[in-house]
Structure 1
Amino acid sequence: MTSLLLPAHLRAKLGPEMKMDVHWVDVKLADGKKFMNLVVRGGSTITGRATDPNGEGVLPFVSEDIVALRRHALLGTLWPFWDQNGNRRG
């Protein structure tokens, strides 16, 4: 299981929990890659993808790669992701 600590400056963007002690988020990495529907537990740790058993699995990046975060968008890739400054659009 991978357990990645969210960068402290992005934790405020989690908002209220979507389920008991769980958030679902989308992240954008420094290289421009986007990972959707990741599981955050305890308000600070990404444990895997929502499709992984118990939301726990291996992720192909490290905490330092994350530059932006938002609550998971139900519209997925149809919803504008982030502008060039890493801010949420739409």
Structure 2
Amino acid sequence: MSWHSDREDTIGSNPAIASVTFGDSRLFRLRHKVRKDVEQVEIKLHHGSFLLMSGTTNTYWQHQVPKTKREVLPRINLTFRIAKRAV
């Protein structure tokens, strides 16, 4: 999956995005949208990993699961999004 942020027009600003990985490990990367001087963050998600992106993460950062040349064993990722809406 290439670099992206989740669409705020469908989930609102500052959503909570939770992700659970099952099966083979995968690499997950984050990069700042504007500040190129900020280093990318790499997180290896193993079986049973839980990742939470919340607050302004989706506003200021993009994320990706990079392509790999290695054989990838089966894996499932469940992602849950909770929109932060004004009441």
- Provide TM-score, normalisation by structure 1: 0.27
Judging by fraction of residues, say which structure has more strand. 2
- Provide TM-score, normalisation by structure 2: 0.28
| Structure number with higher relative contact order (C-alpha < 8 Å, ≥ 6 residues apart) | 2
Larger Rg over CA atoms: 2
